Structure 1
């Protein structure tokens, strides 16, 4: 309750500041409308079908891209981590490709797919893939060598070792990567729509900005922020459920 109260107090203070700044002339109201006007515009936008259709497109790109990136990253991370010598052979390639910003692929995405879902997926998958892959590699590397040698001495097959030893050890790392990738995927989904013009919330923001509807721009930004909070909360709940057996999660829930 104390954490919730502090959060509400902080939100109230922010709204009060946003309401007072343009009305007192500290900022130009043409570029930053009062909070009451933004919230009024937001309430009006929530009643329109166009906003919900745009949100559906954004969430579809986010969900499909995140699922593809996570599946590919988990499979690649386990194979690279388990096969002897493969991690050393691929480390330079991973370190070369991972720092490349996804927005640098915007021209390629536009050339290949144009303003469509394909462009969004290209950026989302590329950005999210590395978040999960690196965590999976850390998880596979965290397997106890003694436990690994014991499992091999008992005659467990490679698949059994992955299923009963590597996967349980890596799962906390996988969930951390998924939590990071979920936020990155949503950011890139909106960015692709905003820059390339793919259907979705970002495209609606771009249209509002081009038409000079400043309150609508801020209202849609608020929607994006709320969706981002919802995405993070949902992934955190999934993480707690999947890792209910993990001591760290038990301590967090008990606290």
Structure 2
């Protein structure tokens, strides 16, 4: 009968210890997050109640939360949320469908990389909000105006990450695939995509946050857009400051939900990747 070596016997215990530590750390995150939020709300409440800040322009947190609860019962609030989510989703989808194949094609061609480098470096730094006057002048429909701004901002986040992902593909793996007679599509599917996917999902996660910011910004500026941004502008113009901050809080919670959804999808699609496996230990 063979016996386990000391290090073999200790390995399962060490792995179990790491897993237990990871589970405790995962369970503690919501508690720490809730404590941070409660602390922030308490400081906000005290600052407004004690006159440290002007309570007229920054109402106490309790009043803002009450206004937020009242908004939840309003049909117009949910219509605004639905419009904002629709614009965000369409902009993200268009940016994804444009940036992913274009990034792969350009990333695989040194000639196209050289030919487009100056154009990319010129267009990428342009602020998306700078396109608002162009969108208003060139496009009549409010949704299409917002989509131009959202798509432009989200496109570059995804496109640049796809270029990085394609550049990270192992040249030896590509040469091996060619020697085995893989078609171009098979090389993309079996060699490029597994390497590029973590970069692509990082780009999607970054683009999701940028797209939501641009969605609300476009709705604030383009007055005919009936989304959350327009509701914020109307509440502010009417002097309803508690409602204004409640709507800002709603956009923050929407961003939190979107980020959580994207991170959940990222973990599911990258469950095989070492970065995600390390989080799960």
Common fold, TM-score beyond 0.5? yes
Q: State yes or no: 1:210 paired with 2:234.
A: no
Q: State yes or no: 1:32 paired with 2:58.
A: yes
Name the residue aligned to 2:40.
14
Decide whether the 8 Å contact of 1:115 with 1:199 is kept in 2. Answer: no
Q: CA deviation at 1:115?
A: 6.1
Q: CA deviation at 1:3?
A: 2.0
Structure 1 pair 209–135 and aligned structure 2 pair: CA distance change class (3 A) = same
> Any stretches of 5+ residues in structure 2 without a counterpart?
1-26
Q: State yes or no: 1:130 paired with 2:160.
A: no
After superposition, the C-alpha distances for 1:111-165 in whole angstroms (9 at most, x for unaligned) are 1224610111000000000000000000000011111111112221111111111
| Structure 1 vs Structure 2 CA RMSD | 1.0
> Any stretches of 5+ residues in structure 1 without a counterpart?
none
Greater shift, 84-93 or 61-70, is seen at: 84-93
Name the residue aligned to 2:270.
243
Name the residue aligned to 1:52.
78
Q: State yes or no: 1:73 paired with 2:99.
A: yes
Cα distance in 1 for residues equivalent to 2:188 and 2:34: 46
TM-score by length of 2: 0.88
SS at 1:28's partner residue?
A: coil
Name the residue aligned to 2:254.
227
- Where does structure 1 differ by over 6 angstroms across 4 or more consecutive aligned residues? none
Cα distance in 2 for residues equivalent to 1:3 and 1:143: 35
Q: 2:139 aligns with which of 95, 107, 113?
A: 113
Cα distance in 1 for residues equivalent to 2:110 and 2:134: 35
Decide whether the 8 Å contact of 1:66 with 1:128 is kept in 2. Answer: yes
Greater shift, 121-130 or 85-94, is seen at: 85-94
Cα distance in 2 for residues equivalent to 1:42 and 1:115: 30
Q: State yes or no: 1:190 paired with 2:190.
A: no
After superposition, the C-alpha distances for 1:196-246 in whole angstroms (9 at most, x for unaligned) are 122200000001011111111000000000000001000000000111111
Q: CA deviation at 1:2?
A: 2.2
Name the residue aligned to 1:99.
125
Cα distance in 2 for residues equivalent to 1:12 and 1:28: 21
Greater shift, 231-240 or 5-14, is seen at: 5-14
Which structure has the bigger radius of gyration? 2
Q: 2:186 aligns with which of 138, 160, 165?
A: 160
Cα distance in 1 for residues equivalent to 2:219 and 2:276: 36
